[in-house]
Amino acid sequence: MEFDNRYFVHQGREYEIRIMADGNRITVKAFLDGKPANGYSYMVEDLTQRDAAIEGGIDPLKALVDTAQRDVENGVWEQYQAVIKSRTQ
């Protein structure tokens, strides 16, 4: 199964949302300059993806890609790191 990665620009930098199939799972992750942009990965089981599309007419994979992009744009990982840092000081 092949997927089209998504590219978008945020704060003047080009990000890539990669979609990778690994056995029975499809994983989504944001990258910047070829490296993970944050610590998040998003995953859906292949069977769940297929069933949702056939039975419910929904696309969990698209929702995960949208979430990965939104998390980059909203700085969710940076917010998380700030909270962790404030608790360890």
pLDDT digits (tens, 9 = 90+) for 22-45: 989 999 999 999 999 999 999 999
Q: How remote is the C-alpha of 39 from its chain's centroid?
A: 10
Q: Cα(26)–Cα(23) distance, rounded to whole angstroms? A: 8
Residue 42 lies in a domain: yes
Sign of CA dihedral 68, 38, 21, 25: negative
Domain membership of residue 1 (yes or no) is: no
Domain membership of residue 19 (yes or no) is yes
Q: What is the pTM of this model?
A: 0.90
In DSSP notation, the chain reads -----EEEEETTEEEEEEEEEETTEEEEEEEETTEESSS--EEEEHHHHHHIIIII---HHHHHHHHHHHHHHHTHHHHHHHHHHHH--
Is 51 inside any structural domain? yes
Q: Which residue segment(s) compose the domain that 46 sits in?
A: 6-87
Domain count, the chain: 1
52 within some domain = yes
Q: Is residue 47 in a domain?
A: yes
pLDDT, tens only, 58-71? 999 999 999 999 99
Determine, yes or no, domain membership for 41.
yes
Q: Is residue 73 part of a domain?
A: yes
